[in-house]
Amino acid sequence: MSAKSVGEKLVALCKEGKNIDAINTLYSDDVVSVEAMAMPGMDQTQKGIDAVRKKNEWWYENHEVHSGDVEGPFPHGEDRFAVVFRYDVTNKPSGNRMKMEEIGLFTLSGGKVAKEEFFYSM
């Protein structure tokens, strides 16, 4: 599948809040996930689909999502696309409500997402 078609499937699933389905169906077992920076208590890079699923679950367990918006995909060539994610969330441990906006850069290998990299400021 091309970057555009994988990106369209990923965006459609994420718009429905089915991020875990996107991981299960579109990601390589060897996927690497890289945050914009190292965060306390979590490595900047997660390796393997199980680690990526766990990070996703951790995020949903620790954030209440009030609303979200997923925009894209924005393809580049045959093997990459970018997606804009916007969320209005409350961080459950702190109780802080915040608007988050980040760009995900997805790189394919063999038609599957082999790398996801997130771009944002804290």
Interface pick for its own copies out of 14, 31, 70, 75 (rule CB under 8 A):
75
Q: Measuring CA to CA, how many Å separate 35 from each of 9, 78, 115, 118?
A: 22, 23, 11, 5
Interface pick for its own copies out of 32, 105, 111, 112 (rule CB under 8 A):
105
Q: Does 36 bind its own copies (CB under 8 A)?
A: yes
Q: Using alpha carbons only, how large is the chain's radius of gyration in Å?
A: 14
Q: Which stretch binds its own copies (CB under 8 A): 21-29, 53-61, 68-76, 90-98?
A: 68-76
Quick check: 97 and 88 in contact, CB under 8 A? yes
Contacts of 5 (CB under 8 A, 6+ apart): none
Minimum CB separation of residue 103 from its own copies in Å reads: 5
12: enclosing H helix or E strand: helix 3-15
Interface pick for its own copies out of 6, 49, 52, 82 (rule CB under 8 A):
82
Q: What angle do CA 22, 73, 115 make, to 5 degrees?
A: 55
Interface pick for its own copies out of 102, 107, 111, 112 (rule CB under 8 A):
102
Q: Which stretch binds its own copies (CB under 8 A): 10-18, 20-28, 31-39, 52-60?
A: 31-39
Q: Which residues bind its own copies (CB under 8 A)?
A: 4, 34, 36-37, 73-77, 80-82, 84, 101-103, 105, 117-121
